[in-house]
Amino acid sequence: MQTVLSILLALIVFGVIIFVHEFGHFFTAKLFGIQVNEFSIGMGPKVFSWGKGETAYSLRVFPVGGFCAMEGEDGGELENPRAFNRKPKWQRCIVLVAGGFMNVVLGLVIMFGLTVSSDLFSTTIISGFRENSVSNTSVSGGDCLREGDEILKVNNTAAHVAMDLSFALSSDQDGIVDILVLRDGEEILLEGVTFNVAGEDGVTYTMIDFTVYGIDNTLSHLFDTRGVSIGTHLLNCVKSVGRAFAETWYSTCSVVRTIWVSLIDMFTGKYGLTDLSGPVGTTGAISQAAGMGLESLLLMAMFISVNLGIFNLLPFPALDGGRVVLLGVEAVRRKPLDPRIEAGINIAGLVILFGLIVVVTFSDIMKLF
């Protein structure tokens, strides 16, 4: 029963992420007076639909996507002044990028909610070392970390929040890194700091063996001054709001950076198709996160939403980013592309994407056995 509820919750979360994406297209299309013929969540046969007037709203069988079908979106419609392809290029560009943009905004909202509700804000100041740690010893003649060090950079990657540390260290493979720290008010470059490494599926990564300090989040005890004056408490609340915005921004940027690095690693061969997750794998990951609690579920939803937004903005045919590129080509040529050529490019992209989805979904299913 718990498994069924987790899967149902996963489908709801996935549906919300898709809805937000398609709503970005829908809202901006309506804003610019573009005729929207159908707004759908899901793909395949309709489960049911409703609505009167020009727009039909529908729910479809397969919860693997959705669409916002606009008049003239695929070319051919030249008479209707409200057709997509009759609108100025800058308006069409906004409509196309609005879906991915809304997914990133959703990710920011989720991350802000998680951050503002936590008891502590993260720092990059070392509070102690775990058992069997090696980064605090001079292994192989390299420098070492000390308690109280504030980590500023790891291998030239800036560290603003704890998530930056996690990204920078986990992406290192040999366990030997250069770290810029603030120690006793002085910036010091520690060269060759050594960490233990671990491996999984042929990929090695550096293990973090220290803990960091947290800063009290006054917003988590808004009505409890904890012995300080009202004025001081209010000032601490204002500071906490500022820290919440800063941590939300830096943490989301860290997630975006992780996604881009993962994409680059995939194209360079570090990861293969078996390391990707399709709808089945994503649903399973959300279900697993749901079983671990609300915070884990929301963090997973945040990661998937930002991931979807960025992926859709890639300059690949059939994706929103690919269609923006075609708009750019149209702007350079100063005349529309041949609708047949544009349709052929997008169809080719769709075939490749659906083929990728089939392969990855098959891989997801095989991982279950």
Any idea how long the chain is? Answer: 369
Residue 82's closest CA among 122, 54, 102, 60? Answer: 54
Sign for the CA dihedral angle at 171, 177, 183, 186 comes to: negative
Q: SS3 helix, strand, coil % of the chain, rounded to 5?
A: 55, 20, 25
Q: Report, as residue numbers or ranges, the catalytic residues.
A: 22
Residue 100's closest CA among 328, 282, 259? Answer: 259
With a CB cutoff of 8 Å and minimum separation 6, the contacts of 326 are: 337, 342, 345
CA distances to 40, 82, 318, 325 from 73, in Å: 15, 11, 12, 15
With a CB cutoff of 8 Å and minimum separation 6, the contacts of 4 are: none
Give 205's strand partners.
Answer: 198
Q: 273 with 81: CB under 8 angstroms?
A: no
Residue 263's closest CA among 220, 223, 224, 313? Answer: 313
CA dist 22 and 16 (Å) reads 10
In degrees and rounded to multiples of 5, residue 162 shows phi and psi of: -60, -35
CA dist 259 and 255 (Å) reads 6
- The tokens for 16 are 């919300």
Element (H, E) at 257: helix 230-267
First to last CA, the chain: 20
- Work out whether strand 36-50 and strand 197-200 pair parallel, antiparallel, or are unpaired: unpaired
CA dist 59 and 51 (Å) reads 12
What is residue 365's three-state secondary structure? helix
